[in-house]
Chain A
Amino acid sequence: MLPAVDHSAFVVSLSARLQRAGVSVGFTGMGALVRAMAAAPLGSRASLYWATRICLVQRQSDLASFDAVFAAVFDESLGIDPHARSQPLRAVGDEDMLASIAGAPSFAEEGDGLPWATLPSVTSTTEAETGGLALPERMPSGLEGLADTPFDELDTAQLALLGGWLEAALTSWPTRRTRRQSAHHAGRRTALRPTLARARRTGWEPIELVLTRPVRKHRRVVMLCDVSQSMQCYAAAYLHLMRAVALTTDAEVFAFATTLTRLTSVLVYKSPQLAMQQASEKVADRFGGTRIASNIRALLASRHGGATRGAIVIIASDGWDSDPPDELAKVMARLHRRAYRVLWLNPRAAAPDFAPLVGGFSAALPYCDDVLPAHNIGALGDVVSAIVRAGRSDVVSSRG
């Protein structure tokens, strides 16, 4: 209950609402509630009710008002359902709600939704409460509200928001060691030439050691995204992930359904709309059938096949393949030998009763280092951290 909500803001705005309804709430109680919410996650409406009542209410005569306010906040149709919460204005609905509410607090009967998701209260109480307690009533940021919304329910604007967030999230990047050396105070090798050059000034006594260490460069990422019919609802979100990857670093990105299309050149346009438009024009075979094995084979054979060498390869597909599974197993084995890490994003793996029964996916599974369910924004965050993690573990790696 209440995921991704600032506890303090929630408690303060609920307390302000209670105070307006005539319930006296003290700071000790508010502090206790914040600590209680941190100590034990409140799993249900009942546990939230009891925790708020025990911490905030101080006398029996206040219980009726408290119940009214609590019911107004949590029994509203808007409720705590994340899907409804992501569109707060539409759920509030009535145009009158935007008008200023008069001084008398009639909200308890009306129930204008969650205290931090109500636009009307912000506009109405600012003049009325300048003398008393003026509080900002918080809305969850656009993305946090969407964190558990499946991709197929996001609209274009929300996807653009996602693209921006992904670009910001990809800050640290996996690196690889190169054979070049550069001077660094924490290096482990002594560079003979510059050390001797400095020793000239001190009578050939090497007082100042010049240490070097290997230069690290970004590890290349190759991402392939399935844009077939079965992946239609996830394709847009994955295109944004591919764009973020392509913009951030040295990456090659491809879309495939029946044939392979290289999208690196079009997705790096600065304007996301233009990039997405160009990409959808370029992919001719989208929302058709899938031939994963022949597409990966085509990639390995093409002039971009070298890009997979020592790279982190990400394949986003549900594994429904019209090629025979043993074909996919063969080509995945080749890819696995050539790549540094192979990650597979399967949005269907998020289902609680998921089992890798699809022929193609079960054939590819032994050759994947990691399988991630990237079905919503929260899971996509895990993908980003998995990419970074994949690059970090090169100490224990036998290859690369």
Chain B
Amino acid sequence: MTESSLSAAALRQQLDEVDYLVDEGLSTALYLALALGLPLLLEGEPGVGKTAAAKALASALGAPLIRLQCFEGLTAGEALYEWNYQRQLLAIRLAESRDEKLRDADLFTEEFLLERPILQSIRYHGPVVPVLLIDEIDRADDEFEALLFEFLGEASITIPELGTYTAQRRPMVILTSNRSRELHDALRRRCLYHWIDFPDPARAAEILRRTVPGANERLILSATDFVGRVRHFDLDKPPGMAETIDWVSALTLLGASELGRADILLTLGAITKTPDDRDTVAGELDALGYEAAAAT
């Protein structure tokens, strides 16, 4: 099996090849989750690449990515499995028209089962274990966490009518959370945990070079420096890596080869997402060294 022969460094190399740069912490976390068959809970500020980590891992391993986007009111029917009521009704009608006797057991078979992402990842038969991304688990209700316990602990799902489905090979499960609410201890206990930090300027610059190939080198360096300093301000939503990428793309599109005051003000919407934040950053531009005179 390819997963067990991997090392953390080799995994890092593979992720590098799909243009996802990781530090030692994240590569160790992904490697341990793969090697030990445990779910991995990723937390971090918005836009540091939690979701991208799962996508990159799937493409690095050549594994299918099964994604479950959590939202308030998410139920078992949307996450685990559901019965296909229409087909069951049709089957009943059909049986009536043929004067056949239908028992309960005939209606609750795999034929009428609709696989949802979690059951799909358990019943997946393929050469490589699938990567199941349970995105933004903090958006789902508390009760939904409890639904996951059996799956996270034993990689199995019990369907009362059919029995227990257990994964032959544990799928690689990645959960992400933005910490909009505190997750339950029982969920944390079942997972490996990794907190993703905002990448340091050197790595942020390297990421920008990969993702925005047309960008000017000086622009990249000054932009990462600028964002790094802006993050220390008291902002409602500090800019993440995703925002920085958008911003540098926007600046490149406008033909900027280096960071000037006029360009910053034009494209500030890419990194600040509220009017207050925009005003704060615009007000601090002088202090950051982008004075009105210098720009012109």
Q: Could you tell me the distance in whole angstroms from the C-beta of A56 to the nearest C-beta in chain B? A: 9
Find chain A residues with CB under 8 A from B8 CB.
Answer: 40, 47
Find chain A residues with CB under 8 A from B221 CB.
Answer: none
Find chain B residues with CB under 8 A from A58 CB.
Answer: 185, 188-189, 191, 193
Q: Which of B7, B29, B179, B182 contacts A54 (CB 8 A)?
A: B29
Does B146 belong to the interface (CB within 8 Å)?
no
Does A24 belong to the interface (CB within 8 Å)?
yes
Cβ A53 vs Cβ B25 within 8 A: yes
Given known pairs A26-B189, A29-B189, A47-B8, the reply for A54 and B35 (CB within 8 Å) is no
| Bound form: Cα–Cα A59–B184 in Å | 11
Q: Could you tell me the distance in whole angstroms from the C-beta of B159 to the nearest C-beta in chain A? A: 25
| Bound form: Cα–Cα A260–B182 in Å | 78
Which listed segment binds B: A31-39, A160-168, A266-274, A377-385? A31-39
Cβ A46 vs Cβ B24 within 8 A: yes
Cβ A54 vs Cβ B32 within 8 A: yes
A63 — nearest CB in chain B belongs to which residue?
Answer: B195
Interface size class of B (residues with CB under 8 A): 20 to 34
| Bound form: Cα–Cα A55–B7 in Å | 17
Cβ A50 vs Cβ B24 within 8 A: yes
| Bound form: Cα–Cα A63–B193 in Å | 11
Cβ B185 vs Cβ A50 within 8 A: no
Given known pairs A39-B36, A40-B7, A50-B25, the reply for A32 and B192 (CB within 8 Å) is yes
Find chain B residues with CB under 8 A from A54 CB.
Answer: 25, 28-29, 32, 192-194
| Bound form: Cα–Cα A53–B36 in Å | 15
Cβ B32 vs Cβ A51 within 8 A: yes
Does B43 belong to the interface (CB within 8 Å)?
yes
Find chain B residues with CB under 8 A from A28 CB.
Answer: 38, 189-190
Find chain A residues with CB under 8 A from B38 CB.
Answer: 28, 32
Cβ B189 vs Cβ A36 within 8 A: no
**Which of A32, A39, A40, A50 neighbours the largest number of chain B CB atoms within 10 Å of its CB?**
A50
| Bound form: Cα–Cα A302–B83 in Å | 94
Which residues of A in the span 223-270 have a Cβ within 8 Å of any Cβ on B?
A: none
| Bound form: Cα–Cα A40–B179 in Å | 31
Residues of A within 8 A of B (CB): 24, 26, 28-29, 32, 35-36, 39-40, 46-47, 50-51, 53-55, 57-60, 63
7 A-B pairs with C-beta separation under 8 A: A29-B189, A32-B36, A50-B28, A54-B32, A54-B194, A55-B32, A59-B182
The 3 closest A-B pairs by CB, nearest first: A50-B28, A58-B188, A26-B189
